[in-house]
Amino acid sequence: MFKIKVATGIATAVVSALPAFAQSNSSTNNGTVHSLTLKECVELALDNNIDIKIQKFNPGLSRFDVSIAYAGYDPVLSGSYDHIFNQGGGGFDAQNRPIPTSRTDANDFSTGLSGKLPTGMTYRFAGDAENRYGVTGLTPFESSTGGASMSLRQPLLRNFLFDTDRLNIAVAKNRLKVSELEFQDQVMTVVYNVENAYYSLIQARENVKVQEKALELAERLFKENRKRVEVGAMAPLDEKQAEADLATRKADLITSQQTFNVQENVLKSLISDNFRGWSPAVIEPAEKLVAVPETFNLMDSWNVGVSQRPDLLQAKLDIERSALQLKYYKNQLLPSLDIRGGYGHTAAGREFNDTIAGVREGNRPNYSYGVVMEIPLSNLAARNRYKAGKLSAEQIKLVFKSREQTVLIEIDNAIKEAQSSYQRVGATRQARLYAEAALDAEGKKLESGKSTSFQVLQLQRDLTSRRSEEIRALADYNKAIARVSYAEGSTLDRKKIKVDVK
């Protein structure tokens, strides 16, 4: 079983049994022929595909967003210190009496811890102390005051148990699930694309072989016709027809080789993040195209698709997210009704130690409690946000229904395509066998002088077409099987690939 792990912030991939050449550099791959199975290509893609590597970061980024959303409950510790100096007095009053001078120094200390709880309650614990000292006239003085207090405020209606912070956390968690599904969808898409590219490459390789055989037949016929012309048993026109067909077969072979090169590059781009290093290498598919019969149950496939398709699951999360927002908008329609209260102790003395001791003794307590209520007279913004949220929620539900219907249609079409492709495999095989038999019979007639070179050339072209059609039917059937799994969202299960996002 393959397993992909994604760590928060840093993406890592673990894939079992990677081929040794997966780690080879460009010099190792230079001109090397790599015989790869489909399983090995999938392994390479899981470990090296650039799109997967890019998508791996999103779940980690979304997890950071969840942590950021929780920052609304972070307690805040504060503290301050101030030194204040005042000097006054001096001079004479209206009766010409001297005014004593004064000088005052003060040290103010304060500290606090404030924050918010998930219920919406806000709290603050505070402490303060002030020490004043100085001289009035010739008389020195010193005094100290301080206290400790706490205050609480709890919403009972608006923002009770569901406020902006709780909405942000719920939405962030929802988007985290979406990012995980998007990553799973990306992995599934890459695996599906690798399957298609691998079958297309086999088809291109087999088509090259077909064109090589066609070229061999054309060369043989041309040589035989030339000998017949030389001995006067055939008209020169037949030789020219065979020669023209030979040139056409050469052009077809070149075209098929170019198609193979293009399909090879498609597969290389999927299984490697270093195309420069892989470019000189040659990929030789280690498997052949075969038609393994499959049985399908439309209802079962629909159930799998509805429960596993990542894009459909994302649409369900969109519905959940709209419901969360609507719940918040509905809460904001309520009036604000909060209870609040506070409790503390104060103390005074000559020095700081006296004040601190007095606070500890608690001989001078104070407390307060009350209710705060606010009722917006029109509440226009909240009412219209709620109405808009209801419309948006209904729209998102319809989008999900449309998407679900599209998924069902895609699965139905994929199953029917697979079934018809399998029937085409049998039909094209029979057509190829008939074409081979017809060419063999016509060749014997040509040797006995009962046929013409033109008829043999026509049957050769027919045989080449039938062989290509059979190969195409085999490739289409295997792609159709992969398409059914992709439409169901079961590609990763079928390939035993587990995506583990942590």
CATH of the domain at 228: 1.20.1600.10
What is the enclosing helix (H) or strand (E) of 106? strand 102-116
Residue 393: the pLDDT is 95
444 Cβ partners below 8 Å, 6+ apart? none
Looking at residue 179, its pLDDT comes to 95
**pTM of the shown model:** 0.83
CA–CA distance, 402 with 436 (Å, rounded to integer): 50
* pLDDT tens per residue, range 418-464: 999 999 999 999 999 999 898 888 888 877 777 777 787 788 888 88
Domain match, 348 and 272 both: no
Do 225 and 135 lie in one domain? The reply is no
Q: How many CA atoms lie within 13 A of 138 on its CB side?
A: 1
C-alpha angle 192-197-202 in degrees, rounded to nearest 5? 130
Answer yes or no: is 379 within a domain. no
**Same domain for 62 and 84:** no
pLDDT at 443: 81
Do 62 and 79 fall into the same domain?
no
pLDDT tens column, 40-62: 999 999 999 999 999 999 999 99
pLDDT category of residue 346 using cuts at 50, 70 and 90:
confident
pLDDT surpasses 80 at 239: no
pLDDT of residue 235: 75
Q: Are 221 and 82 in contact (CB under 8 A)?
A: no
Q: Which of 316, 349, 374 is the last residue of a domain?
A: 374
- The answer to which of 6-20, 66-80, 346-360 has the lowest mean pLDDT is 6-20
How many domains does one find in the chain? Answer: 2
The band of 29, judged by pLDDT with boundaries at 50, 70 and 90, is low
| Strand pairing class (336-349; 139-155) | antiparallel
**Residue 451 CB coordination number (10 Å):** 16
Spatial contact of 439 and 467, defined as CB atoms under 8 Å apart: no
How far is the C-alpha of 317 from the C-alpha of 185, rounded, in Å?
15
Chain segment 374-417, per-residue pLDDT in tens: 998 889 999 999 999 999 999 999 999 999 999 999 999 999 99
For residues 471 and 407, state if they share a domain.
Answer: yes
pLDDT grade for 89, boundaries at 50, 70 and 90: low
pLDDT at 25: 39
The answer to whether position 439 is within a domain reads: yes
Report how many helices (DSSP H) and strands (DSSP E) the chain contains, helices first.
12, 10
In this structure, are 23 and 91 located in the same domain? Answer: no
Residues 307 and 341 in one domain: no
Nearest 5°: phi and psi at 261?
A: -60, -40
Report yes or no: 390 and 326 within 8 Å, Cβ to Cβ.
Answer: yes
- The reported pLDDT for the residue numbered 391 is 96
Supply the pLDDT for residue 11: 36
Average pLDDT, the chain: 87
Average pLDDT over residues 344-358: 79
pLDDT at 92: 63
Q: How far is CA 194 from CA 147, 188, 270, 418, in A?
A: 72, 10, 7, 18
Which of 2-6, 345-349, 351-355 has the least mean pLDDT? 2-6
For residue 441, what are the contacts with CB-CB under 8 A and spacing of at least 6?
none
User: Long-range contacts: 416-422, Cβ < 8 Å, 24+?
Assistant: 417/480, 417/483, 418/294, 418/296, 418/477, 418/480, 418/481, 418/483, 418/484, 419/296, 421/473, 421/476, 421/477, 421/480, 422/291, 422/293, 422/294, 422/477
Instruction: Let me know whether 148 and 171 are in one domain.
Output: no
189 and 501 Cβ atoms separated by less than 8 Å:
no
Residue 17, by phi and psi: left (phi above 0), alpha (psi -120 to 50) or beta?
left
Residue 381 domain-assigned? no
Q: Is 282 a member of any domain?
A: yes
pLDDT of residue 31: 67
Q: What share of the chain is helix, strand, coil (3-state, %, to 5)?
A: 60, 20, 20
Q: Please report the pLDDT score of residue 362 as a whole number.
A: 75
Q: What is the pLDDT of residues 125-175, one digit of tens each?
A: 999 988 888 888 778 888 888 889 999 999 999 999 899 999 999 999 999
Same-domain status, 192 and 280: yes
Domain of 100, in residue numbers = 75-116+121-158+336-374
Shared-domain flag, residues 402 and 305: yes
Question: Are 409 and 313 part of one and the same domain?
Answer: yes
Tell me how far CA of residue 140 lies from CA of 81, 106, 136, 143, 272, in angstroms: 24, 14, 6, 11, 85
In a domain, 331, yes or no: no
- pLDDT of amino acid 93: 64
Asked if residue 397 is part of any domain, the answer here is: yes
Work out the pLDDT band at 5, boundaries 50, 70, 90.
low
Q: How far is CA 328 from the centre of its chain?
A: 27
Look at residue 10 and tell me whether its pLDDT is greater than 50: no
Position 164 scores a pLDDT of 93
* Same domain, residue pair 205 and 132: no
For the segment 171-205, what is each residue's pLDDT rounded down to a tens digit?
Answer: 999 999 999 999 999 999 999 999 999 999 999 99
Q: In degrees rounded to 5, what are phi and psi of residue 31?
A: 75, 5
Q: Is residue 382 part of a domain?
A: no
In a domain, 329, yes or no: no
